[in-house]
Structure 1
């Protein structure tokens, strides 16, 4: 790979052209391992061509949109690459979407075809049938042609209601075997590659428009910074509807001829840790809850004598891992070369990253420095055109590989993008992150304004606490106060105060069992936790409300859904608050309600048993 000033040159090609180049160079090298199935790069090229033929058989062409609702499996990977090869725009949907959300998303992106699994894998649950989703799409198709979308069902294990405009995937592949492939010569690097719905922890996703240039170069730069070679093995932890899964695993591995290990269709901490061990994975990616899940599993006898020193690089995304856990992870899982990364779907996604060569203190306390071909500056919150000085706090702005905009939403695009013009007339498009941060004299970026993470870090230093998430809750007097949702460790007994004004609520379904079976040699109280925080932080950072829980609600990518915790907390502390029993009863009956309460908590990614 050509280097310019110690950094990789921008790739001025499409993803399909890049894949062809890699196939030519690494044809017999392993590209992906899924269970017993192993594909070389030549195999990958041939298999994706079969899917390209199927897309053409359906009458699709460059610029059309294909949506997917699929698990993390080989068919999803092949469909993704087939779209990129043919110039068809990929719009992967979150498998957790409801029927209403799926129909709305398909209509929003104007999907010409929807690939949907017969079932969908969900972390730590039985596979879910997609029949309700398909029925909703069929119904939308029949209403004045409101949804002109063909449906392809993948991995059907039983006869399915294949009606008009509906196909079974393997049957479609066979029928398209003689279809001619015409290479799209008009496809350019700046052509749209994918429409990715934002996966933040709010409930208002928007479709982000990203080009081949955006995501291919972000993948290539990160892969280069991690020192990737064709000898490396990536572990597939992030779902393939997510920017992290597509860019930082699929494409990052491909750009340097490395292999991907895909041991499970949804996050399964044990299956992934076994694959990391057996395939001797070298590059890890994930969010803090995933690393915490692996840490819990390292106490199992099967991992007692394994040396994880083959792990040499990767990233921790979503939020920096708590410093109190970092040292333990370094010792047990050899994460010395794995650094924090910062970015968002709109920035393709990585903007900054901490590397193995950076000082340990920087890897723990910052999100690293700006990656090549991206730019980061700190601007005044009230004036995004005014750049602040070193050490000043302001809004983080990103330029370079940023989105074209939000699909059919000019208002939100204009709010997010700021254009500046230099003296030489050069125009730069800056993406407003909405995050507060600062940059030090060495160029390392810190995400500040995260008081809640400081509180979490201090509370996690209590040995009796397994996990904690802090949110702001409404308060009539102060406007907002601190609320902490705490998971005690299994051998801990929670001793609750008899004072009704203690500000604690037990939301654990297993609370009674825990009291009778726990090792009473270790006790935990709300007062103890408040004292821990009070000893190290300011008075206003001490949690007024503490909620004891079994689990924390997670997105499918392992991010804690703080808006659900906030909704649940506010419903309990409001002046006309419901009781915990009432909240439990209501939320069990209404599992799709705004906060999903205890049913939502059971989605915790880090329950790796």
Structure 2
């Protein structure tokens, strides 16, 4: 398979491929194809060849999109790095791969030169390179196309190797669930170094539809809401906190066919809010290792069963297991995923690959169950389980009870060391309820050993760049701000 843009230049040359919401500039597929060919020639002139690794440290802007497709065109493996990383964090990731070159946007070029041992080129000067002639060959689908780093919040970051087949299969499966129309415009406010931000760029090109780039400078809800209206967006990818802020800012446009939420669990309260406002929310369960979506609920499913993440996508199978033994329907265990979207593996990490792949597929490390109708419940991370006095406590169960308190907006539940019980259950709560009210609320709703022994109230929960709760930061806050009650 050649890169998607090379097909669309013949199929839909005059259709809009990319809109830069910040500048208002637009590119048709014919325009984009010429720009990609030009950029690919410059990469070739740098000595990049099929299979080489090309790092990019740049904002998600039109030049980033051109680089994504140019890398695919010549068979280069693109590795987008997190622009928000510290110098030490960036250096750690760079040292885990084998870059042939690193391209950086102007605000990030200095850091790139500091951490890289490979040649560094600025995006602004890349066009000064000569354009070398090359012949774009068909690329085998099972060859790596991109490598994305996991967040590393619970351990060392790992580079996830995704092939052309992974990306194509993910696009097809998503289309079967969300639908695709020729006039679709997918608004993308997420960073391209995350799968959630890269997916709309790749999928829109595969579909021959339009991706609308939110622009630089981070997420601004009022600006994003205006963009959604002005660009007649039909779809948008967001983390739940983004969606909540969008709803705070006003009404979403009627043009939206789907609002895809991921990166963190979508709370039932937010789903109920979308139902009241007529927002077509599609809560999803997915991960970088599966090229994004694994299970996605349509709005009617989400409204009827807000605790579920929907059914698996086409050609994807999800099972709950204990060890390597499949569990009966409805019984919680580790979720294991198999299908064509599952990654090739972690780069240069055979020990981890041997551990995470088993006879039933990829071991996600997530605790969950599969209901009789096939829909998936995600209950948290297996590693997050709290063992207190010999009893297992799953934080997701405690958090669901706490969120049902009328004066609790959100919460995170973790374990902290305890000299008597090994660990104690602790909660960081957002809302107007006091710590005493939260603890009293648990009476009769949770077994006593599941009651939070330490509760702190905060204005918001600390989150990672992808929108998931930063559990390490939660533990630090609880350790610093709370004392264990006598």
TM-score, with structure 1 as normaliser? 0.72
Quick check: 1:229–1:257 contact (8 Å CA) kept in 2? no
| Distance change >3 Å, CA 464–CA 264, structure 1 → 2 | farther
Kindly state the Cα deviation for residue 392 of structure 1 after the two structures are TM-superposed. Answer: 2.0
Residues 113-128 of structure 1: matches in 2 within 5 Å?
113-119=101-107
Quick check: 2:36–2:66 contact (8 Å CA) kept in 1? yes
Q: State yes or no: 1:135 paired with 2:114.
A: yes
Corresponding position of 2:137: 184
Corresponding position of 2:320: 378
Corresponding position of 1:588: none
SS at match of 1:47: helix
Corresponding position of 1:41: 29
Kindly state the Cα deviation for residue 438 of structure 1 after the two structures are TM-superposed. Answer: 1.4
Structure 2: tracts of 5 or more residues without a match: 382-393
Task: Select the residue among 284, 290, 293 that pairs with 1:347.
Answer: 290
Quick check: 2:235–2:257 contact (8 Å CA) kept in 1? yes
Residues 511-526 of structure 1: matches in 2 within 5 Å?
524-526=433-435
Q: State yes or no: 1:273 paired with 2:225.
A: yes
Residues 568-607 of structure 1: matches in 2 within 5 Å?
568-570=477-479
| Distance change >3 Å, CA 271–CA 469, structure 1 → 2 | farther
Corresponding position of 2:310: 368
Task: Select the residue among 12, 32, 37 that pairs with 2:18.
Answer: 32
Residues 141-152 of structure 1: matches in 2 within 5 Å?
147=117, 149-152=118-121
TM-score, with structure 2 as normaliser? 0.89
Q: State yes or no: 1:242 paired with 2:194.
A: yes
Residues 111-510 of structure 1: matches in 2 within 5 Å?
111-119=99-107, 131-137=110-116, 147=117, 149-154=118-123, 169=124, 171-176=125-130, 178-185=131-138, 187-199=139-151, 201-247=153-199, 249-265=200-216, 266-298=218-250, 306=251, 308-332=253-277, 334-335=278-279, 337-356=280-299, 358=301, 360-362=303-305, 364-380=306-322, 382=323, 384=324, 386-400=325-339, 401-419=341-359, 430-448=361-379, 451-462=394-405, 464-488=407-431
Quick check: 2:379–2:397 contact (8 Å CA) kept in 1? no
Quick check: 1:228–1:253 contact (8 Å CA) kept in 2? no
Kindly state the Cα deviation for residue 38 of structure 1 after the two structures are TM-superposed. Answer: 0.9
Greater shift in the superposed pair: 561-570 or 439-448: 561-570
Kindly state the Cα deviation for residue 574 of structure 1 after the two structures are TM-superposed. Answer: 8.1
Quick check: 2:260–2:282 contact (8 Å CA) kept in 1? yes
Structure 1: tracts of 5 or more residues without a match: 1-12, 121-129, 138-146, 155-168, 299-305, 421-429, 493-523, 576-609
Kindly state the Cα deviation for residue 398 of structure 1 after the two structures are TM-superposed. Answer: 0.9
Corresponding position of 1:566: 475
Kindly state the Cα deviation for residue 67 of structure 1 after the two structures are TM-superposed. Answer: 0.6
Quick check: 2:58–2:64 contact (8 Å CA) kept in 1? yes
Rounded Cα–Cα distance in structure 1 between residues aligned with 2:359 and 2:434 = 52
Quick check: 2:379–2:396 contact (8 Å CA) kept in 1? no
| Distance change >3 Å, CA 388–CA 290, structure 1 → 2 | same
Rounded Cα–Cα distance in structure 2 between residues aligned with 1:391 and 1:464 = 31
Rounded Cα–Cα distance in structure 1 between residues aligned with 2:450 and 2:111 = 45
Kindly state the Cα deviation for residue 87 of structure 1 after the two structures are TM-superposed. Answer: 0.4
Aligned residues: 468
Corresponding position of 2:42: 54
Rounded Cα–Cα distance in structure 1 between residues aligned with 2:359 and 2:435 = 49
Q: State yes or no: 1:542 paired with 2:429.
A: no
Rounded Cα–Cα distance in structure 2 between residues aligned with 1:540 and 1:311 = 45
Quick check: 2:5–2:32 contact (8 Å CA) kept in 1? no
SS at match of 1:534: coil
Rounded Cα–Cα distance in structure 2 between residues aligned with 1:23 and 1:468 = 49
Rounded Cα–Cα distance in structure 2 between residues aligned with 1:253 and 1:261 = 10
Corresponding position of 2:389: none
| Distance change >3 Å, CA 243–CA 467, structure 1 → 2 | same
Quick check: 1:481–1:544 contact (8 Å CA) kept in 2? yes
CA RMSD of aligned residues (A): 2.4
Rounded Cα–Cα distance in structure 2 between residues aligned with 1:573 and 1:462 = 21
